[in-house]
Amino acid sequence: MKYVPVLFGLAIFLILPVVVDSYFLTILISIFYYAYLSSCWNILGGYAGQLSLGHAAFFGIGAYTSSLLFMKWQITPWLGMWVGALLATVFALFMGSLSFRFGLRGFYFVLITWAFAELLRLITLSLDVLGGPTGIYISVHTSPWQFQFSGRGPYYYIILGLTIFILIISHKLEASKPGFYFKAIRENELAAEGSGVATARYKLLALALSAFLTALGGTFYAQYLKYIDPETTLGVSLSIEIMIRALVGGSGTPFGPLIGSFILTPLSELSRTYFTKGGLEGLPLIIYGAVLIFIVLFLPQGVATWMKEKIAGYKNR
Protein backbone atom coordinates (compact mmCIF):
# COMPACT_ATOMS: atom_id res chain seq x y z
CA MET A 1 0.00 0.00 0.00
CA LYS A 2 2.83 2.43 0.73
CA TYR A 3 3.88 2.34 -2.94
CA VAL A 4 0.42 3.20 -4.29
CA PRO A 5 0.96 7.00 -4.21
CA VAL A 6 4.33 6.57 -5.94
CA LEU A 7 2.84 4.39 -8.68
CA PHE A 8 -0.08 6.78 -9.09
CA GLY A 9 2.29 9.73 -9.46
CA LEU A 10 4.41 7.80 -11.94
CA ALA A 11 1.35 6.98 -14.04
CA ILE A 12 0.46 10.68 -14.17
CA PHE A 13 3.94 11.68 -15.30
CA LEU A 14 3.94 8.97 -17.96
CA ILE A 15 0.79 10.33 -19.63
CA LEU A 16 1.53 14.05 -19.21
CA PRO A 17 3.33 14.49 -22.58
CA VAL A 18 0.12 13.42 -24.30
CA VAL A 19 -2.08 16.05 -22.64
CA VAL A 20 0.15 19.11 -22.16
CA ASP A 21 1.43 21.66 -24.65
CA SER A 22 5.02 22.10 -25.78
CA TYR A 23 5.82 24.92 -23.34
CA PHE A 24 4.62 23.00 -20.29
CA LEU A 25 6.51 19.92 -21.48
CA THR A 26 9.69 22.01 -21.68
CA ILE A 27 9.21 23.05 -18.05
CA LEU A 28 8.70 19.43 -17.01
CA ILE A 29 11.92 18.44 -18.77
CA SER A 30 13.75 21.21 -16.89
CA ILE A 31 12.25 20.05 -13.58
CA PHE A 32 13.41 16.47 -13.97
CA TYR A 33 16.73 17.55 -15.49
CA TYR A 34 17.62 19.57 -12.38
CA ALA A 35 16.10 16.96 -10.10
CA TYR A 36 18.39 14.33 -11.60
CA LEU A 37 21.53 16.47 -11.34
CA SER A 38 20.68 17.59 -7.81
CA SER A 39 20.09 13.97 -6.76
CA CYS A 40 23.54 13.11 -8.13
CA TRP A 41 25.02 15.94 -6.06
CA ASN A 42 23.01 14.72 -3.05
CA ILE A 43 25.00 11.48 -2.89
CA LEU A 44 28.15 13.45 -2.07
CA GLY A 45 26.81 16.64 -0.53
CA GLY A 46 23.70 15.31 1.20
CA TYR A 47 24.47 11.77 2.34
CA ALA A 48 28.25 12.04 2.77
CA GLY A 49 28.16 15.69 3.89
CA GLN A 50 30.93 16.82 1.49
CA LEU A 51 29.62 20.07 0.01
CA SER A 52 30.80 20.54 -3.56
CA LEU A 53 30.82 23.55 -5.85
CA GLY A 54 32.52 21.66 -8.64
CA HIS A 55 29.85 19.39 -10.08
CA ALA A 56 29.81 21.45 -13.25
CA ALA A 57 33.21 19.88 -14.00
CA PHE A 58 31.76 16.35 -14.05
CA PHE A 59 28.75 17.57 -16.02
CA GLY A 60 30.99 19.33 -18.54
CA ILE A 61 33.29 16.33 -18.98
CA GLY A 62 30.28 14.19 -19.83
CA ALA A 63 28.86 16.78 -22.25
CA TYR A 64 32.14 17.51 -24.06
CA THR A 65 33.32 13.89 -24.27
CA SER A 66 30.16 12.49 -25.81
CA SER A 67 29.80 15.52 -28.13
CA LEU A 68 33.37 15.32 -29.44
CA LEU A 69 33.17 11.57 -29.97
CA PHE A 70 29.98 12.12 -31.93
CA MET A 71 31.16 15.09 -34.00
CA LYS A 72 34.65 13.81 -34.87
CA TRP A 73 34.22 10.03 -35.05
CA GLN A 74 30.43 9.57 -35.33
CA ILE A 75 30.33 7.51 -32.13
CA THR A 76 26.76 7.52 -30.90
CA PRO A 77 26.20 9.47 -27.65
CA TRP A 78 24.50 6.36 -26.26
CA LEU A 79 28.05 4.93 -26.07
CA GLY A 80 29.94 8.20 -25.64
CA MET A 81 27.99 9.02 -22.49
CA TRP A 82 29.62 6.08 -20.70
CA VAL A 83 33.08 7.14 -21.84
CA GLY A 84 32.38 10.63 -20.50
CA ALA A 85 31.12 9.19 -17.23
CA LEU A 86 34.31 7.13 -16.81
CA LEU A 87 36.51 10.17 -17.55
CA ALA A 88 34.53 12.23 -15.04
CA THR A 89 35.04 9.49 -12.45
CA VAL A 90 38.81 9.47 -13.06
CA PHE A 91 38.88 13.26 -12.73
CA ALA A 92 36.85 13.05 -9.51
CA LEU A 93 39.15 10.40 -8.02
CA PHE A 94 42.19 12.53 -8.84
CA MET A 95 40.62 15.60 -7.26
CA GLY A 96 39.37 13.63 -4.26
CA SER A 97 42.67 11.85 -3.67
CA LEU A 98 44.52 15.16 -3.47
CA SER A 99 41.85 16.73 -1.28
CA PHE A 100 41.37 13.89 1.19
CA ARG A 101 45.10 13.09 1.39
CA PHE A 102 45.68 16.55 2.84
CA GLY A 103 42.63 16.28 5.08
CA LEU A 104 40.61 19.03 3.38
CA ARG A 105 37.05 19.21 4.64
CA GLY A 106 34.27 21.74 5.10
CA PHE A 107 34.87 25.13 3.55
CA TYR A 108 38.27 24.08 2.20
CA PHE A 109 36.75 21.17 0.30
CA VAL A 110 34.15 23.53 -1.18
CA LEU A 111 36.96 25.78 -2.40
CA ILE A 112 39.03 22.98 -3.91
CA THR A 113 36.05 21.60 -5.86
CA TRP A 114 35.29 25.07 -7.20
CA ALA A 115 38.98 25.58 -8.10
CA PHE A 116 39.17 22.32 -10.08
CA ALA A 117 35.98 23.13 -11.99
CA GLU A 118 37.16 26.65 -12.73
CA LEU A 119 40.53 25.34 -13.93
CA LEU A 120 38.75 22.98 -16.28
CA ARG A 121 36.57 25.82 -17.58
CA LEU A 122 39.61 28.01 -18.30
CA ILE A 123 41.39 25.16 -20.09
CA THR A 124 38.31 24.54 -22.23
CA LEU A 125 38.08 28.24 -23.08
CA SER A 126 41.65 28.23 -24.41
CA LEU A 127 41.52 25.06 -26.53
CA ASP A 128 40.26 25.36 -30.09
CA VAL A 129 39.82 21.60 -30.32
CA LEU A 130 37.12 21.97 -27.65
CA GLY A 131 35.49 24.87 -29.44
CA GLY A 132 37.06 27.55 -27.26
CA PRO A 133 34.70 30.27 -25.98
CA THR A 134 32.37 29.70 -28.96
CA GLY A 135 31.53 26.19 -27.85
CA ILE A 136 30.38 23.26 -29.96
CA TYR A 137 27.33 23.15 -32.20
CA ILE A 138 26.13 19.58 -32.52
CA SER A 139 24.94 18.58 -35.99
CA VAL A 140 21.34 17.45 -36.22
CA HIS A 141 20.62 13.98 -37.59
CA THR A 142 17.22 13.30 -35.99
CA SER A 143 18.00 9.67 -35.36
CA PRO A 144 17.13 7.80 -32.15
CA TRP A 145 20.40 5.87 -32.56
CA GLN A 146 22.24 9.21 -32.38
CA PHE A 147 20.28 10.35 -29.28
CA GLN A 148 18.37 12.90 -31.39
CA PHE A 149 14.62 13.13 -31.78
CA SER A 150 12.24 15.35 -33.72
CA GLY A 151 10.10 16.29 -30.71
CA ARG A 152 10.50 16.89 -26.98
CA GLY A 153 8.53 13.81 -25.92
CA PRO A 154 11.39 11.28 -26.14
CA TYR A 155 13.70 13.64 -24.24
CA TYR A 156 11.07 13.91 -21.52
CA TYR A 157 10.88 10.14 -21.10
CA ILE A 158 14.68 9.82 -21.08
CA ILE A 159 15.15 12.40 -18.32
CA LEU A 160 12.18 10.95 -16.41
CA GLY A 161 13.84 7.53 -16.61
CA LEU A 162 17.15 8.96 -15.40
CA THR A 163 15.38 10.65 -12.49
CA ILE A 164 13.61 7.45 -11.48
CA PHE A 165 16.94 5.63 -11.76
CA ILE A 166 18.72 8.05 -9.41
CA LEU A 167 15.80 8.03 -6.96
CA ILE A 168 16.01 4.24 -6.76
CA ILE A 169 19.77 4.47 -6.17
CA SER A 170 19.22 7.06 -3.43
CA HIS A 171 16.56 4.92 -1.77
CA LYS A 172 18.75 1.82 -1.84
CA LEU A 173 21.73 3.83 -0.64
CA GLU A 174 19.92 4.91 2.52
CA ALA A 175 19.59 1.35 3.78
CA SER A 176 22.98 0.10 2.57
CA LYS A 177 26.29 -0.24 4.39
CA PRO A 178 28.01 2.50 2.33
CA GLY A 179 25.00 4.76 2.94
CA PHE A 180 25.30 4.20 6.68
CA TYR A 181 28.98 5.10 6.56
CA PHE A 182 28.24 8.15 4.41
CA LYS A 183 25.82 9.46 7.03
CA ALA A 184 28.24 8.68 9.85
CA ILE A 185 30.91 10.75 8.07
CA ARG A 186 28.40 13.56 7.54
CA GLU A 187 27.39 13.70 11.19
CA ASN A 188 30.87 13.45 12.70
CA GLU A 189 33.80 12.49 10.52
CA LEU A 190 36.31 12.28 13.37
CA ALA A 191 34.02 10.02 15.40
CA ALA A 192 33.39 7.82 12.36
CA GLU A 193 37.12 7.49 11.74
CA GLY A 194 37.65 6.66 15.39
CA SER A 195 35.05 3.92 15.11
CA GLY A 196 36.99 2.22 12.33
CA VAL A 197 35.29 3.68 9.26
CA ALA A 198 37.71 4.18 6.35
CA THR A 199 36.50 7.75 5.87
CA ALA A 200 38.79 8.64 2.97
CA ARG A 201 37.76 5.54 1.04
CA TYR A 202 34.04 6.12 1.49
CA LYS A 203 34.29 9.80 0.67
CA LEU A 204 36.05 8.83 -2.56
CA LEU A 205 33.30 6.30 -3.24
CA ALA A 206 30.62 8.94 -2.80
CA LEU A 207 32.55 11.38 -4.98
CA ALA A 208 33.14 8.83 -7.75
CA LEU A 209 29.51 7.67 -7.83
CA SER A 210 28.24 11.24 -7.82
CA ALA A 211 30.61 12.26 -10.63
CA PHE A 212 29.78 9.24 -12.80
CA LEU A 213 26.04 9.86 -12.64
CA THR A 214 26.38 13.63 -13.10
CA ALA A 215 28.35 13.12 -16.32
CA LEU A 216 25.45 11.14 -17.80
CA GLY A 217 23.31 14.23 -17.32
CA GLY A 218 25.87 16.22 -19.30
CA THR A 219 25.30 14.03 -22.37
CA PHE A 220 21.55 14.48 -22.07
CA TYR A 221 21.97 18.26 -21.93
CA ALA A 222 24.25 18.33 -24.97
CA GLN A 223 21.95 16.28 -27.16
CA TYR A 224 18.81 18.04 -25.96
CA LEU A 225 20.06 21.56 -26.74
CA LYS A 226 22.49 20.62 -29.55
CA TYR A 227 24.99 23.14 -28.21
CA ILE A 228 27.50 23.36 -25.36
CA ASP A 229 29.96 26.04 -24.26
CA PRO A 230 32.31 26.48 -21.28
CA GLU A 231 30.18 29.04 -19.45
CA THR A 232 26.94 27.07 -19.34
CA THR A 233 28.42 23.58 -18.92
CA LEU A 234 31.41 24.29 -16.67
CA GLY A 235 30.50 27.54 -14.91
CA VAL A 236 30.01 27.83 -11.16
CA SER A 237 26.43 29.03 -11.70
CA LEU A 238 25.48 25.52 -12.82
CA SER A 239 27.05 23.99 -9.71
CA ILE A 240 25.05 26.40 -7.56
CA GLU A 241 21.81 25.60 -9.40
CA ILE A 242 22.44 21.89 -8.85
CA MET A 243 23.29 22.26 -5.17
CA ILE A 244 20.57 24.70 -4.19
CA ARG A 245 17.69 22.45 -5.21
CA ALA A 246 18.91 19.73 -2.87
CA LEU A 247 19.31 22.22 -0.03
CA VAL A 248 15.83 23.67 -0.53
CA GLY A 249 14.14 20.31 -0.94
CA GLY A 250 16.14 18.59 1.78
CA SER A 251 19.68 17.31 1.33
CA GLY A 252 20.39 13.81 2.55
CA THR A 253 16.87 12.62 1.65
CA PRO A 254 15.88 10.65 -1.47
CA PHE A 255 13.09 12.98 -2.57
CA GLY A 256 14.57 16.27 -1.38
CA PRO A 257 16.20 17.21 -4.71
CA LEU A 258 13.03 16.32 -6.61
CA ILE A 259 10.88 18.48 -4.31
CA GLY A 260 13.41 21.32 -4.52
CA SER A 261 13.35 21.16 -8.31
CA PHE A 262 9.55 21.20 -8.38
CA ILE A 263 9.65 24.36 -6.28
CA LEU A 264 12.51 26.31 -7.85
CA THR A 265 12.53 25.28 -11.52
CA PRO A 266 8.95 26.33 -12.43
CA LEU A 267 9.41 29.50 -10.38
CA SER A 268 12.54 30.35 -12.32
CA GLU A 269 11.08 29.48 -15.73
CA LEU A 270 7.72 31.20 -15.25
CA SER A 271 9.15 34.35 -13.71
CA ARG A 272 11.57 34.68 -16.64
CA THR A 273 8.68 34.24 -19.06
CA TYR A 274 6.19 36.67 -17.53
CA PHE A 275 8.37 39.22 -15.71
CA THR A 276 11.04 40.20 -18.21
CA LYS A 277 9.28 43.15 -19.83
CA GLY A 278 8.10 46.61 -18.83
CA GLY A 279 11.00 47.38 -16.52
CA LEU A 280 10.56 44.15 -14.54
CA GLU A 281 13.69 42.40 -15.85
CA GLY A 282 15.17 42.01 -12.36
CA LEU A 283 11.96 40.75 -10.72
CA PRO A 284 12.61 37.03 -11.40
CA LEU A 285 15.83 37.18 -9.41
CA ILE A 286 14.05 39.01 -6.57
CA ILE A 287 11.29 36.38 -6.44
CA TYR A 288 13.83 33.57 -6.64
CA GLY A 289 15.92 35.10 -3.86
CA ALA A 290 12.89 35.72 -1.63
CA VAL A 291 11.85 32.07 -1.83
CA LEU A 292 15.38 30.93 -1.01
CA ILE A 293 15.59 33.27 1.99
CA PHE A 294 12.24 31.98 3.26
CA ILE A 295 13.34 28.35 2.98
CA VAL A 296 16.69 28.99 4.67
CA LEU A 297 15.12 30.95 7.56
CA PHE A 298 12.02 28.88 8.26
CA LEU A 299 12.80 25.42 6.83
CA PRO A 300 16.57 25.04 7.28
CA GLN A 301 16.39 21.23 7.01
CA GLY A 302 14.55 21.44 3.70
CA VAL A 303 10.98 20.98 2.60
CA ALA A 304 11.17 17.16 2.49
CA THR A 305 12.23 16.94 6.15
CA TRP A 306 9.48 19.39 7.16
CA MET A 307 6.87 17.35 5.26
CA LYS A 308 8.11 14.12 6.85
CA GLU A 309 7.81 15.61 10.34
CA LYS A 310 4.29 16.90 9.63
CA ILE A 311 3.16 13.51 8.31
CA ALA A 312 4.69 11.72 11.32
CA GLY A 313 2.96 14.15 13.69
CA TYR A 314 -0.37 13.59 11.96
CA LYS A 315 -0.04 9.79 12.23
CA ASN A 316 0.79 10.03 15.95
CA ARG A 317 -2.38 11.93 16.81
H helices within the chain, ranges in order?
4-19, 22-42, 55-73, 77-101, 107-126, 153-174, 177-187, 189-194, 199-225, 230-234, 236-249, 256-274, 283-298, 303-315
pLDDT in tens, 29-75: 999 999 999 999 999 999 999 999 999 999 999 999 999 999 999 99
Q: What percentage of the chain exceeds 90 in pLDDT?
A: 62
Q: What is the pLDDT of residue 44?
A: 96
Q: How far is the C-alpha of 272 from the C-alpha of 46, rounded, in Å?
A: 29
- pLDDT, tens digit, 9 for 90 and up, residues 14-28: 888 888 888 899 999
Domain ranges within the chain, ordered by starting residue: 24-315
Q: Return the CATH architecture of domain 24-315.
A: Orthogonal Bundle (1.10)
pTM for the whole thing? 0.93
Q: Is the pLDDT at 1 greater than 60, yes or no?
A: no
pLDDT tens figures, 70-93: 999 999 999 999 999 999 999 999
